[in-house]
Amino acid sequence: MAAASRTMVPPAAIDVLPESDTSTFTLPDRLTIQGVAKRRAAEGRLVAGVAALADVDRFKGRSVHAHKPKARRWDRKYCLIDRLMIMKYLGFGSLTVISISDRFSPESNRRLPSSLKGAAQYLKTPGIISLGGGLPSSEYFPFEEFNVKVPVPGSFDNKTNHAVMSAGKHDLAQGTSDFDIATAFNYGQGYGSAQFLRWIIEHTEIIHSPPYQDWSCTMTVGSTSAIDMGMRMFCKSGDWILSEEFTFPTAVESAAPQGVKVAGVGVDAGGLRANALDKVLAEWDEAVRGGPKPFILYTVPTGQNPTGSTQSAQRRKEVYAVAQKHDLIIFEDEPYYFLQMDPYTGLNSPAATPPASHADFLASLVPSYLSIDTDGRVMRLDSFSKVIAPGSRVGWITASEQIVERYRQHADVSTQSPSGMSQLVLFKLLEEQWGHPGYLDWLLHIRAEYTARRNVLLDACELHVPKSIASWSPPAAGMFHWVRVDYTKHPSYGSVGRAEIEEAIFQANVRHGTLLMKGSWFCPEGQREGDAMFFRATYAATPLGDIKEGVRRFGEALRDAFGLEKGFDGENGSVAVK
């Protein structure tokens, strides 16, 4: 038998488009909120008990996607006919057909469906008495009812109105809710509860409307776990993956113990550069790198951590074209997707005007990779961490059914599913209290909050950070600000190395009472002499007054470290320190 190989599809002769944003993008077939209501009415009530299997096609609307092409498969089957076998076939033996998985890792290929979870399908057999599953009786759950107070749409800004969401133990049986304590607090399926999965699928369709037929979603315990599980699904020790040259350190730290290395791809103010991606792949030298050409691109397209950059619609199309050319799978990690803001227009920018309608809001969002993924090569990671609460530990992936199925199989025997307690709270909030429209209102509220925070930080930078040595592009999404520092102007430049200067600036910040992260901490391949130097600031949670003061101290620290006179702020000292 031939050994499993990872043959790459030869690059096609396509041109990488210029890196500029010149086009707009309209999402076809977007599910509307009215459409959800109609679909629900047609389907009738969802009754899903303990560990019930979910009918994803029903949640997607059975026929809605039928006209779309199917996703590519990643376990390409090869019919390999061994010459000897042909000889045998032609009279002396038999034909052997073997299947080689081209993209999935050996670990993923060894996974089998969980036998115990699979037995859940028989629970709906009429009249069956289960002596099978080791699921405890809800009689022994020491929870009868819970009540959670939440803000209601219309008063998110002033928080004057609240509602109390209640869940009882047997609401489902009593017909007062589709989800209850008895169901949610028991074991569930790897993809999460059917009740909440339905909401997630509808939300995904409202926002992204994936352009192929067999897309699916499965819940995760957050994107950190999805990165780890996703890498295990596709990579083996000795492999490389690709990411922005500055990236979320957890992704690198998750890859390292798996024996997987991360190769950085050049970025600019508009995020990952398609040409740089193409170049890294086209010039990949297995002997020099000590590993095969990568086929996983991990990217954070919106409000990237740490650079704060957001890829435009055009940039995403260019990157997607390169992904097609080199046959990549894209991990689209998007915790900051809904924190897209109006552009910063300078000191004291006027408050942003909110979109006039939900439709305008959705149209204003940069299209996701998922929404342009005609091939089914994107695994999108969503998370409630940055828009609801990180402690919920609930997120989901969207990808082709084949990829999602592999993920579920892994979840069934590892994370199982996100906490049922979390799922029930989120279900009560997003399904029963806010619904899809209320959630969009919340996202609008949250993004306005972050816009105000960002503006405070950028105003403070304008006022206090010396532009003779520091420069930046205002972030258009997320919670990070990335400041470039021209260390060639540092007094020690030439006599000590780059790393020492970075450390000296970092320590100057600490001495002056402010903390910013070193850029080199986000560099998967480390930084070399001559590489640009950056520091990351965040406006995520610090009180507004402290943001101003922290940035003032940062400016002071830079002046101190670079030996600039106090009061020297702009290139020519014309901006006074306030």
Ligand X SMILES: Cc1ncc(COP(=O)(O)O)c(C=O)c1O
By CB under 6 A, tell whether 368 contacts ligand X: no
Binding mask 101-130 for ligand X (x = CB under 6 A): ------------------------------
Question: Alpha-carbon dihedral of residues 267, 268, 274, 278, nearest 10 degrees?
Answer: -50
β-sheet with 533-538: strand ranges across: 470-471, 480-485, 533-538, 517-518
Contacts of ligand X in 291-310 (CB under 6 A): 300, 305
By CB under 6 A, tell whether 371 contacts ligand X: no
32: its two tokens: 């509307």
By CB under 6 A, tell whether 224 contacts ligand X: yes
Nearest distance from C-beta of residue 381 to ligand X, angstroms: 7
146: its two tokens: 């819970």
β-sheet with 329-333: strand ranges across: 215-220, 395-400, 378-383, 329-333, 296-299, 240-244, 261-265
Integer Cα distance of 434 and 384 in angstroms: 15
By CB under 6 A, tell whether 370 contacts ligand X: no
In 266-373 the beta strands, taken as DSSP E runs, fall at 267-268, 271-272, 296-299, 329-333
Q: Using an 8 Å Cβ cutoff, are 465 and 568 in contact?
A: no
DSSP 256: G
By CB under 6 A, tell whether 204 contacts ligand X: no
Integer Cα distance of 106 and 520 in angstroms: 33
Nearest to 382 by CA among 366, 365, 399: 399
- Identity of the residue, 138 or 250, whose beta carbon is nearer to ligand X in the bound complex: 250
- Identity of the residue, 172 or 381, whose beta carbon is nearer to ligand X in the bound complex: 381
- Identity of the residue, 303 or 367, whose beta carbon is nearer to ligand X in the bound complex: 303
Binding mask 244-283 for ligand X (x = CB under 6 A): ----x-----------------------------------
Integer Cα distance of 408 and 220 in angstroms: 9
Nearest to 73 by CA among 99, 95, 55: 99
Nearest distance from C-beta of residue 393 to ligand X, angstroms: 7
By CB under 6 A, tell whether 383 contacts ligand X: yes
For the chain, the residue count is 578
Nearest distance from C-beta of residue 364 to ligand X, angstroms: 22
- Identity of the residue, 335 or 376, whose beta carbon is nearer to ligand X in the bound complex: 335
- Identity of the residue, 248 or 295, whose beta carbon is nearer to ligand X in the bound complex: 248
By CB under 6 A, tell whether 218 contacts ligand X: no
Estimate the share of the chain in helix, then strand, then coil, as percent rounded to the nearest 5.
Answer: 40, 15, 50
Nearest to 52 by CA among 181, 190, 221, 168: 190
> 3-state class of 485 per DSSP?
strand
Nearest to 262 by CA among 248, 272, 276, 274: 248
Nearest distance from C-beta of residue 256 to ligand X, angstroms: 16
By CB under 6 A, tell whether 547 contacts ligand X: no
Nearest distance from C-beta of residue 223 to ligand X, angstroms: 4
Candidates 180, 333, 459, 556; binder of ligand X (CB under 6 A) is: 333
Candidates 114, 299, 309, 385; binder of ligand X (CB under 6 A) is: 385
Integer Cα distance of 346 and 463 in angstroms: 11
Contacts of ligand X in 37-56 (CB under 6 A): none
What number of other Cβ atoms are within 10 A of residue 119's Cβ? 13
Radius of gyration, CA atoms only, the chain:
26
- Identity of the residue, 296 or 470, whose beta carbon is nearer to ligand X in the bound complex: 296
Q: Using an 8 Å Cβ cutoff, are 348 and 459 in contact?
A: yes
Terminal C-alpha separation, the chain: 75
Nearest distance from C-beta of residue 300 to ligand X, angstroms: 4
- Identity of the residue, 195 or 223, whose beta carbon is nearer to ligand X in the bound complex: 223
Nearest distance from C-beta of residue 520 to ligand X, angstroms: 17
- Identity of the residue, 300 or 319, whose beta carbon is nearer to ligand X in the bound complex: 300
Furthest CA-CA distance within the chain? 93
**Candidate segments 93-101, 219-227, 445-453, 570-578, binder of ligand X by CB under 6 A:** 219-227
Integer Cα distance of 120 and 130 in angstroms: 10
Nearest distance from C-beta of residue 392 to ligand X, angstroms: 9
By CB under 6 A, tell whether 223 contacts ligand X: yes
457: its two tokens: 């930080």
Integer Cα distance of 536 and 521 in angstroms: 10
By CB under 6 A, tell whether 390 contacts ligand X: yes
Nearest distance from C-beta of residue 407 to ligand X, angstroms: 15
**Candidate segments 93-101, 218-226, 356-364, 419-427, binder of ligand X by CB under 6 A:** 218-226
Candidates 188, 335, 420, 550; binder of ligand X (CB under 6 A) is: 335
DSSP 493: B
Q: How many residues bind ligand X (CB under 6 A)?
A: 12
By CB under 6 A, tell whether 243 contacts ligand X: no
**Candidate segments 67-75, 382-390, 430-438, 513-521, binder of ligand X by CB under 6 A:** 382-390
Integer Cα distance of 9 and 406 in angstroms: 23
Candidates 61, 151, 270, 395; binder of ligand X (CB under 6 A) is: 395
Nearest distance from C-beta of residue 463 to ligand X, angstroms: 28
Nearest to 184 by CA among 124, 143, 127, 133: 143
**Candidate segments 169-177, 220-228, 429-437, 495-503, binder of ligand X by CB under 6 A:** 220-228
Nearest distance from C-beta of residue 65 to ligand X, angstroms: 27
By CB under 6 A, tell whether 93 contacts ligand X: no
Nearest distance from C-beta of residue 295 to ligand X, angstroms: 21
Interface residues with ligand X (CB under 6 A)? 222-224, 248, 300, 305, 333, 335, 383, 385, 390, 395
